[in-house]
Amino acid sequence: MSTGTSAAATVVSGVAAGHRVQVVAPRLLVSGQVVLREVDVEVHAGEAVGVVGPNGAGKSTLLRALAGLDGEPSVRWDLDLDSADGAIGGVVLVGHDPGLHPHLSLAENLRLAAALRAGSVLPVATALERVGLAGAAGRLAGRCSEGMLRRAGLARAWASGPALLLLDEPTAGLDAASRGLPAALVRSTTAAGGMVVVATHEPVAFDGVIDRWLHVSGGRVTSRQP
Amino acid sequence: MSATRHVVALTRAELVLELRTGDVLRTVAPYAVAALVLLALSVDANTVVLRQIGLGAGWTVLLLFGSQAASRRGLLDRAAVHELCRVSGVAPRTLLAARVVTTTGLLAALLAVLVPVVVALFDLSLAGGLWLLATTLAALIGLATLTSIAGALVTTTAVRGVVAPLLVVPLSVPLLLAVVQVPPTLRYGGSPLPWLLVAVLVDVTLLTIAAGLAPWLEGNP
Amino acid sequence: MTRFRSTDALALVLLAVGFAAIVAAPTDALQGLLQRLMYAHVPAAWLAYLAFAVTLVASIGWLRTRRARWDHLAVGAVEVGVFFTGLALVLGSVWGKPVWGVWWTWDARLVTTALLFLVYLGYLALRRATEDPRARANRAAVLGIIAFVQVPIVHFSVVWWRTLHQPATVLRPGHPTMDHTMLAVLVVNVAAYTAVFITLLRRRIALARREEELERGRWSPTAPVAGDAVEAPLVEGEHRV
C-alpha cells in the first residue's frame, strides 16, 4: 500500500505511542562465543539511539538481537508495533551486507524487498532517486560499487518506512555528497513516529538527530553522554 | 494470503535469477547430458542393454545432477537476503515453500531437457505413458523437497556442493525405484499403483515433516 | 583417561562370555566354521538400528528442551552407530563371499543397512559443515528426524522391489528356524554388543559434556568476551597506553 507522499510529512500525534522494542538477555553469542553480557536495551517510539564502541565489541550483535534474529531461548525480545497507523510498519535492518543479490538489478532487489512486506510508503523509483541512484536503477547489483550498494540499502529503508529502523555503520563507504543521507533517513523515520538504532564510528555525522547514546565495550552495553 | 504472495514473489525472483545465471539449464544440464553419453559408452553402446537401462540411467542422472541444484547460490542461499526475508516477517514455512516451488520448477526444466536425450541415446520407449508420467511427477516433487531441505540444512558454501547431494541421494531411493519399476510392472500385467503410492507417500511425509520443522530449518529458534 | 566404570567391566565380561559362547557353539551343518560370523554380524546390525532409534529420541529431545545433553546423545549415538553399521556390512560381506559366492546380495535388509550407513555419514558431514554450535544441533536434529521417518519407507520400497524380482536362490543372512543353542549364543552376543554400545556411548557423551563445560567456562562473568581480543592499533612512534 503506497501512500504516494513522503513518509516525513505524516505525523499523527498519539498514534506512535504504542511502538516499543526491548531485548533482554544474560548473554549474546556469536558462533558459541560470548560477545555481550547482561543486555537490557529498550527503545520507544520516536526515539533515535546511537551505538558506539570499538571494532568487535558487539554493536552488530546488538542490532541483530534488536531485529529479533537471535533465537537463543534465554534471549527475550519484545516488539510492540502500533499497527493502527498504516503508513509505517515492520522492521528494517540495513547491515554491512545490504542484502542485494548481485544478479538482480537495484530496482528488482528493492521491488522484491517491498513485495515481502505489506507494501512501501515510497515507490521504489522515488526511493532510488532520493539517494541519487535513479540512473542506476536498472544496473545489476553485482556491477555496482560498494558505496552504491550502501546507498541502495538506505533506499530500501526509505521505501519501507519502518517502525523500527536498525542501521549498522551506514556512513561507511559513502562519498561526501551522500554522507548526510543516513542522518536524513533517521530524522524522517523518527518524525513519522518510528524507532531508530544506529551503530556508527562517526557520531559527528548524526549530530542533532540522536536522542541518546549507548556505548558497547568490554562485553557491556552502557549509556553515555554524547 | 500474504504467504502465497511471498512465495510467488520469491519464486519469480529465483526463476529470473536462473534465467540470468543459467546455473541449472546452462551448466548442470550439459553436464548431465555428458554423463548420459558416458553411461551409454560404458555399456558398449549395446542397443539391447541401452533399452533396458535407459529409464534407470536417465532418472539416476536426474537424481544425482538435480541434487546439485541444492548447492546453487540462489536468492535464499545468501545470508543477507535470507535475513532480510526473516526480518520482513516472512514465515520460515513460507521460505521453505518458496524453495520447494523453485526447485520443482528447476528440476522440471532439467527433466524436460533430459527426456529427449534419453529417448534418443537409449532408444527409450515411453510405454506406460500416464502411469509413468504420474509417478515421475510425484517423484520429481519428492526430489525437489529433499533437495530443498538439504539446501536449507547446509549453508557452509565451501562444502555445500558435496554434503547436500550426499544427504539427498540415500533417501531418494524409493523415488528412483518407484519410477524405474513402472514399465516392468506393466509388462508383467500388474498395476503400478503401489509404486505411485510409494512416491506419493514419500512426498507427503517429507512435506509434512518439513513444514513442521520449518522453524529450525529456516529460522533461528 | 576417563575412569574405568562398572559398565565398562560389564561390557568386557559380556564380550568374553560371548566369545567363549561362539567358540563353544555347535558347528553349522551347512556353512561350517564361517557361520560363526553371524554371531557378530547380527548383533552389529541390531545395534545399527538401535543407534538410529536413539538418534531419533535424542533429536526430538533437543528440539523440545534445548538441553545440550540431548545433542550429545544424538552425536554419540550416530558416531557409535556408524561404526557398528560399517562392521555389520563388512562382516556380512566377508560371511557372504565364501558361503554364497558373492560379496554382496541385494537382500532388502542389506541394502537398507548400506543406505543407513550413508545416512549416518551424511549426518556427520552435516555436523562438520556447521560451525555455530546451536545451528549445528538444530540442523542435525532436523536431519535425524527426517531420516528416521524416511528410512522405513526406503526399506519398504526395497522389500517391495525384491518381492517382485525373486532371485534364483533365496539368499538370507540368517536361518528362519535356528537351533536353540545357536539362538542362545546369539542372544548372549547381542547382549554383549549392546553393553559395548552403551559403554562407547557413555564415553562419547562424557567427552561431549567436557567439551561443553569448556565452552561454558567462557560464559562465566570473569571470562573474556570476544571483543577483548581487539585492542587499539599501534601507531608508528607511539606507545600503547
In three-state form (DSSP H/G/I as H, E/B as E, the rest C), the secondary structure along A78-108 is EEECCCCCCCCCCEEEECCCCCCCCCCEHHH
pLDDT in tens, A150-200: 999 999 999 988 889 999 999 999 999 999 999 999 999 999 889 999 999
Cβ-contact B154, C126 below 8 angstroms? yes
pLDDT digits (tens, 9 = 90+) for C126-139: 999 998 888 999 99
Domain with B102, as residue range(s), is: 2-218
Q: Which of B181, B202, B213 to mutate to test the interface with C (most CBs of C within 10 A)?
A: B213
Of A35, A53, A73, the CB nearest to C226: A35
User: Which residue do the cell numbers 535469477 mark?
Assistant: B17
* B to C CB pairs, distance under 8 Å: 93
Q: What is the pLDDT of residue B30?
A: 93
Predicted confidence (pLDDT) at residue B89 exceeds the cutoff of 60: yes
Residues B98 and B11: beta-carbon distance below 8 Å: yes
pLDDT band with cut points at 50, 70 and 90 for residue B188 = confident
Q: What is the DSSP string of B93-111?
A: HHHHHHHHHHHHHHHHHHH
The residue to which cell 542461499 is assigned? B77
Where does the pLDDT of residue C183 fall: very low under 50, low under 70, confident under 90, or very high at 90 and above?
Answer: confident
CB of C126 within 8 Å of a chain B CB? The answer is yes
Residues whose CB is less than 8 angstroms from the CB of residue A156 and which lie 6 or more positions away in sequence, other chains included: A92, A94, A98, A99, A109, A110, A113, A127
Distance from CA of B191 to the nearest CA of A (A): 46
Instruction: Give the distance, in angstroms, between the CA of residue A85 and the centroid of all CA atoms in the same chain.
Output: 19
Q: What is the pLDDT of residue C29?
A: 66
- Closest by alpha carbon to C186, among C16, C1, C14, C22? C22
Q: Say what the pLDDT of residue C168 is.
A: 40
Q: Cell 556408524 identifies what position?
A: C82
User: Could you read off the pLDDT of B101-126 as tens digits, one per residue?
Assistant: 999 999 999 999 999 999 999 998 87
C67 conformational bin, left if phi > 0, alpha if psi -120 to 50, beta if neither: beta
pLDDT at C186 over 80: yes
Cβ contact, residue pair C227, A35, below 8 Å: yes
Tally A–B CB contacts below 8 A: 63
- Is A116 within 8 Å of B16 when comparing Cβ atoms? no
Do the Cβ atoms of B87 and A71 come within 8 Å?
Answer: no
Q: Which residues does chain A have within 8 Å of residue C215's beta carbon, measured at their own beta carbons? A: 32
The length of chain B, given as a count of residues: 221
Confidence (pLDDT) at A64? 94
Chain A residues with CB-CB distance to C under 8 A? 27, 29-37, 53-58, 72-73, 216-219
Verify whether the Cβ–Cβ distance B78 to A98 is below 8 Å: no
Q: Residues with Cβ < 8 Å from B116, sequence gap 6 or more? A: none
Nearest to B215 by CA among B95, B85, B107: B95
pLDDT at A3 over 50: no
User: Given its phi and psi angles, is residue B14 left (phi above 0), alpha (psi -120 to 50 degrees) or beta?
Assistant: alpha
- Please tell me the distance from the alpha carbon of residue C120 to that of residue C140, in angstroms, as a whole number: 11
Q: Which of A67, A108, A112 has the CB atom closest to B87's CB atom?
A: A67
> Cell numbers at residue A103, please?
544478479
Residue of C66, C225, C230, C240 for testing the chain A interface, max A β-carbons within 10 Å = C225
Q: Does C198 touch chain B (CB under 8 A)?
A: no
The separation between CA A11 and the C-alpha centre of its own chain, rounded to angstroms, equals: 19
- Closest Cα to residue B24, out of B151, B134, B121, B149? B151
CA distance A123 to A3: 9
Residue A1 scores a pLDDT above 60: no
**Residue C105: all three cell numbers together:** 546380495
DSSP structural state of residue B150: H
Per-residue pLDDT tens digits for A89-125: 689 999 989 899 999 999 999 999 999 987 677 899 9
What HEC string does chain A produce? CCCCCCHHHCCCCCHHHHCEEEEEEEEEEECCEEEEEEEEEEEECCCEEEEECCCCCCHHHHHHHHCCCCCCCCCEEEEECCCCCCCCCCEEEECCCCCCCCCCEHHHHHHHHHHCCCCCCCCHHHHHHHCCCHHHCCCEHHHCCHHHHHHHHHHHHHHHCCCEEEEECCCCCCCHHHCCHHHHHHHHHHHCCCEEEEECCCHHHHCCCCCEEEEEECCEEEEECC
Confidence check: pLDDT of B67 > 60: yes
Residue of B nearest to A156 (CA): B84
Q: For residue B206, is pLDDT > 90?
A: yes
Task: Express each pLDDT in C153-181 by its tens digit.
Answer: 999 999 888 877 655 444 455 555 667 77
**Which residues of B are less than 8 Å from C126 in CB distance?**
153-154, 163, 167
Does B153 contact C139 at a Cβ distance shorter than 8 Å? yes
Distance in Å, alpha carbon of C173 to nearest chain A alpha carbon: 47
Which residues lie across from A25 on neighbouring strands?
Answer: A39
Backbone phi, psi, residue A105, to 5°: -70, 165
The more confidently predicted of residues B126 and A136 is A136
Burial class (CB in 10 A: 0-12, 13-18, 19+), C235: exposed
Interface residues on B facing C, Cβ-Cβ cutoff 8 A: 149, 153-156, 159-160, 162-163, 166-167, 169-171, 173-174, 177-178, 181, 184-185, 188, 194, 198, 201-202, 205-206, 209-210, 213, 216-217, 220-221
Q: Does C183 touch chain B (CB under 8 A)?
A: no
User: Span A202-220, mean pLDDT?
Assistant: 92
Check pLDDT > 50 for residue C2: yes
Please tell me the predicted confidence (pLDDT) of residue C97: 82
DSSP B88: T
Instruction: Please name the member of C66, C219, C230 whose beta carbon is closest to the beta carbon of A27.
Output: C219
Would you say residue A7 has pLDDT above 70? Answer: no
Q: Which residue has the higher pLDDT, C175 or A59?
A: A59
Nearest-by-Cβ selection for A54 from C215, C219, C230: C230
Q: Which of A31, A32, A219 has its CB closest to that of C227? A: A219
CB A14 within 8 A of CB A61: no
Among B81, C8, B132, B188, smallest CA distance to A108 is for B81
Number of domains in chain B: 1
Reduce the secondary structure of chain C to three states and give it as a string: CCCCCHHHHHHHHHHHHHHHHHHHCCCECCCEHHHHHHHHHHHHHHHHHHHHHHHHHHHHHHHHHCCHHHHHHHHHHHHHHHHHHHHHHHHHHHHHHHHHCCCCCCCHHHHHHHHHHHHHHHHHHHHHHCCCHHHHHHHHHHHHHHHHHHHHHHHHHHHHHHHHCCCCCCCCCCCCCCCHHHHHHHHHHHHHHHHHHHHHHHHHHHHHHHHHHHHHHCCCCCCCCHHHHCCCCCCCCCCCC
pLDDT of res. C236: 80
Q: Name the more confident of B138 and B188.
A: B138
pTM: 0.88
CB contact under 8 A, C122 and B167: yes
Per the listing, cell 523415488 goes with B175
Chain A neighbors of B2, CB-CB under 8 A: 118
Which residues of chain B neighbour C136 with C-beta distances below 8 Å? none
pLDDT at B213: 94
CB contact under 8 A, C223 and A72: no
Cα separation, B19 vs A104, whole angstroms: 11
C125 touches B: beta carbon within 8 Å? yes
Predicted local confidence at residue C239, as pLDDT: 66
Q: Which of C133, C219, C229 sits opposite A56 (nearest CB)?
A: C229
Average pLDDT, rounded, for chain A: 86
Task: Tell me whether residues B156 and C130 touch, CB distance under 8 A.
Answer: yes
* C-alpha to C-alpha distances, B32 to A10, A138, B67, B68, C168, nearest whole angstrom: 57, 34, 11, 10, 35
User: B136 φ, ψ to 5°?
Assistant: -60, -45
Q: Which three cell numbers stand for residue C192?
A: 554383549
Q: Nearest C-alpha of chain C: how many angstroms from A50?
A: 19
A99 vs B contacts (CB less than 8 Å): 78, 80-81, 83-84
Task: Return all residues near C1 (Cβ < 8 A) that are at least 6 apart.
Answer: none
| DSSP three-state, residue B89 | coil
Q: What are the residues whose beta carbons fall under 8 Å from the beta carbon of C17, sequence distance 6 or more?
A: C188, C192
Tens of pLDDT, residue by residue over C23-52, are 777 777 666 777 777 788 888 888 889 999
